[in-house]
Structure 1
Amino acid sequence: MLGTNTMMVILFIFIGAISYRAVNENNRQATVIAYDQAAATTFFLYVEQLDGFLSANPTFTGSVTTQIQFPAWLNENKDIMMYVENGRGYVYMSAKSNVYDSLVSRTENSSMIGLTDSNSIITNLGPIPKPSVIPQNYIVYMI
C-alpha cells in the first residue's frame, strides 16, 4: 500500500499536469484570436490601399496585389490578394471563420463583404457574380 506522502506527491503531479494543459490551451486560444484580429486589421488596410489605387487608376483591370506600394510599417500578407474588374475592386483571402466574423462585425454586416462559392460572392443581400480568379471558400470585400 502506498504511503500518505506518496499519494500526496502523485496527487500534486496529477493536478500540475492538468493545470499545465489548461494554461497551454488558453495560450493557444489567445494566440489564434490575436492572429485572427491582426489578419482582419491587415485585410482592411489592403482594402484602403486598393481604394486609393482604384481612385488613381479607374480603368485598370487585373491583379493589383503586386502593383501597390505598401507603407514600410505594414508587413505584406501573402494570403491577401487584390483584383480589379470592370471598375470594381476585390480584396480576398482564404476563409477563416474568426477572421470573417471579425470583418463582418467591423463592417456592421456590410453587404460589401461575403464568402465565395464556385460562382458567386454570397453577401447578406444574396449572391453576386464573382471574377473567375477568386477561388471558392474565400472571404471577399468589394469596393
Structure 2
Amino acid sequence: MTLTTPALLFPAISLLLLAYTNRFLVLAQLIRELNAREGEQIRPFVIEQILNLKKRIRLIRSMQFWGVASFLLCTLAMFALFVEFTPLGTALFGISLVALMVSLLTSLYEIHISCDAIAIELESIGKHSHSPEK
C-alpha cells in the first residue's frame, strides 16, 4: 500500500462531513421555526416531530463523530505509511474504512428517520384537509 491510497479518501470524507453539517443546520433551522410557530400550545403531531428531531440530532452527531474519526485515522495511516510503518498504516487505514462505514450506515438510518418525519407531516396535512370548514 502506498501513501496515495488513504489520500484518495480525503475528498470523499470532506464532502461527507460538509453534507452532515448541512443536514445539522437544516434541522437546527427547522427546530427554531417549530419553536417560533408553536409557542406554548404544542399540538400532538408536533410532539411526534420533536421526538423525531431529537433522534435525528443524535444520529447526525454520531455521523459526524464517525466521519471525523475516519478522517483522523486516515491521516494517521498516511503518516504511518510516510514513516514507513506499513503494517500500522495498513491497519489504521482499515480501521478508518470501518469508521467510514459506520458513519455511512448511521447516515442511511437518519435518512430513514427523516422519511418518517415527512410521513408525520403528510398525515397532519391529510387530517386538516378532511376537517369540515368553519
Q: Which TM class, normalised by the smaller chain length? A: 0.3 to 0.5
TM-score between both structures, scaled by the size of structure 1: 0.33
| Larger-gyration structure (1/2) | 1
Q: If each structure's strand is expressed as a fraction of its own residues, which one has the higher value? A: 1
